[in-house]
Structure formats: C-alpha cells, structure tokens
Amino acid sequence: MTALNTGHEAVSSVTPVRRRATTRRRAGLAGYLFVSGYAILLLAFGIFPTVYAFFLALTNDRGQFTGLNQFIKVAQDYRFAPAFLNISLYLVMWLLSVVVLTVVVAIVLRSRMRPRLSAIFRFLYYLPGALAGVASVLVWLFMLDPAVSPVSWLLQSMGFADFAAVLSPGDLPVILVLIAFWTGAGGWIVVMYGALNNIPDEVLEAARTDGAGPWKTAWHIQIPMIRKWIAYMAILAFAGGTQLFVEPQMLQTASLGRVSPTWSPNQLAYVYAFQHGDFNGAAAISIFLLALGLICAALLVTRSDLFKVDES
C-alpha cells in the first residue's frame, strides 16, 4: 500500500506541485474577493469609528493633541461617578438574578418535567423577548402605574400610591432589572436548556445508578458541564448591561425629569454630544465603555474554548 503510493507520487510529482501552488494562489485571491464586502463594512463601522473615537478623545475641538485631558475632564464631571455607580448596582442585581434563576429553571425544565410541558413553559418564558427595546419599557411603564397595572394591589401593598412614587430614582435599578429579566431571561433559559440537552444521557444515567438524586445530579454533574455556557451568559449579560441607554432614557421621559438624564454612562455621553456639543468629551466616555466591552470580548475569546477560531 505505502510502496504503491510513493511510487505513484514519484511519477507524477512535478505537475501536482505546480498545480497545487497555482490553485492555492487562486484560492487566496478568491478569498480576498469573498471577504471584501464584509471587510469594507468592518473597516467603516467597526475599526474606523473606534480609531476616530480615540482620535477625538485625545484632541480638543480645534484638533490639538491634548493627551489624556479629555478623559480626566469627563472623569471629574460630577455626573460621571454616579452614572457608573448606577449601572454597577444594576449589574450586580441583574447578573445574580439572571444567572441563578435561568440555570435553576433550565435544570428543572430539563430533568423534572415532561418534555411536552417543558416545551410550553420554555415558549411562554421566551415570548416577551419579542418586545425587546422600546416596547418592553412602555409595557412596564403600564405595569408599574398603580392606576392601570394588573398588579396595582401589589404595588399599593408595597406602599406605592401612584406612578410618581414608583418611578423614584432609587427604584430605577430594580425597575431596569425587571425589564431586562422580562425580555432577556426567557431566551437564556432556552439556551441553557439547549446546553443541558448536549449532556449525553449515559452520563446522567450513570449518576442515577450511582444513587445521585436530581439535586445532586444538578449540582455535581449538570452545572459543572454547562459551566462555560453560564460564564458566556454572565459575560454577555454584563457587557450588555454596561451599555444601558434606551431604558433609562425612556424612564427619564416618563418620570417627568425626576430621574437624572445622565443616569447611565451612555446617557452622559449622549448629553455631552447633543447638549454640550462636546464631541471630544463624548468620545472619551465612549472609549471607557468601549474598553469595558473589549475586555469582556477578549476574556471570552481567549479564556474560553467556546469559539472555534481554527480547527487546523
């Protein structure tokens, strides 16, 4: 077999080498052509805006290089620290609730419920995801208005007499978590359920024959085996949470100005650009946010084996 093969190759080794070289060159050129459209979009709306934001953040409105002055200026703004504090508070509550609840729910759906029933639950939990964005905020404005809310008895028993009382600035993190959970958790439950489905049945059966009950199986087998997906969810939920804009912006409108218009860092950047006309300051804030997003992304790409970059 081997001898036969080498003999064959020895005979025809000249032409294939050259042909392989030309096809490789041809494929290389074709590769460039195939990615060109996407590469142009990537340059125009990924790379260039980032570079341009850096340029703006390092200069002043006359285009003079000012070093880190813009960063120092925005960081010393009296609204800067509160904005980051606000989203930190929100992020802690959001991450805890989304990670704990989606994992628990997905495990119960996977191992303790009839498949038909489990599918119905997953679908109903997932449905509000269709209302992501502006629609979800509007729905929750109604839900939190004791005058029209279906749970006004609950709001009133918690001491909220009217809409103004609910929308006090201190309640904003909780309200934002409710909205984010309502639109986002169902999708994550479906994804976690899918990850749990990837665990081979033999593994779970082996645990059962070894005497592990459902809770032990969940704690010692299922959760460790979907750990990387839990990390994936936590990092994406964190990165998305740092970027809050629509939700606090609309709650601000609805609160008739009692909630700060610079509640989140993105809103502060917006105010810099559109009310102060200070594009350099706005760029400096978005660099801070960009850095947060980049760190999360780099963490996921380099530290997890979730993303196949190359198999060869």
Partner 1 sequence: MTNTSHASAARRRQSTLVPNLIVIVLFAALLLFFIVPVIWLLLAPTKTANELIHDNPLSFGSLANLGAAWRHLITFQDHALLVWLRNSAVYSIGALVVTLATSIPAGYALALTKFRGRKTLLVITLVVMIMPTATLVLPIFLELNQFGLIGTIWSVILPFSFYPFGVYLVYIYFATTLPREILAAARIDGCSEWQLFTRIALPLAKPVAALVAFFSFVGNWNNFFLPYLVLPNSDQFPIQVGLNQLLSSTPSFNPVAGAGLNITSPELALAIIIAIVPVLVLFLFSQRALVSGMLAGATKG
Strand partners, 59: 65
- Judged by beta carbon, residue 3 or residue 308, the one nearer partner 1 is 308
Site for partner 1 in 45-74 (CB under 8 A): 45-50, 52-53, 56
If one asks whether residue 211 binds partner 1 (CB under 8 A), the answer comes out as no
What CA–CA distance (Å, rounded) separates 289 from 269? 10
121-180: contacts with partner 1 (CB under 8 A): 121-135, 138-143, 145, 147-152
Q: Which of 7, 37, 115, 211 is close enough to bind partner 1 by CB under 8 A?
A: 37
Subset of 256-285 contacting partner 1 (CB under 8 A): 256, 266, 269-270, 273-274, 279, 282-283, 285
Q: Is 95 in the site for partner 1 (CB under 8 A)?
A: no
Burial 121-160 (b: 16+ CB within 10 A, else e): bbeebbebbebbeeebbeebbebbbbeebeeeeebeeeeb
Q: Which is nearer to partner 1, 173 or 272 (CB)?
A: 272
Collapsed DSSP state (helix, strand, coil) of residue 1:
coil
| Angle in degrees, 0-180, between the axes of helices 279-303 and 265-274, rounded to the nearest 10 | 150
Nearest CA-CA partner of 272 in 85, 90, 82, 70: 70
What minimum distance in Å lies between the beta carbon of 53 and partner 1? 4
Residue 100 binding partner 1, by CB under 8 A: no
From the list 77-85, 89-97, 168-176, 191-199, the region that binds partner 1 by CB under 8 A is: 191-199
Give the bridge partners for 65, in sequence order.
59
Smallest gap from Cβ 79 to partner 1, in A, equals 16
Strand runs labelled E in the chain: none
Residue from 93, 99, 234, 254 in contact with partner 1 (CB under 8 A):
254
Q: Dihedrals φ, ψ of 162, to 5°?
A: -140, 180
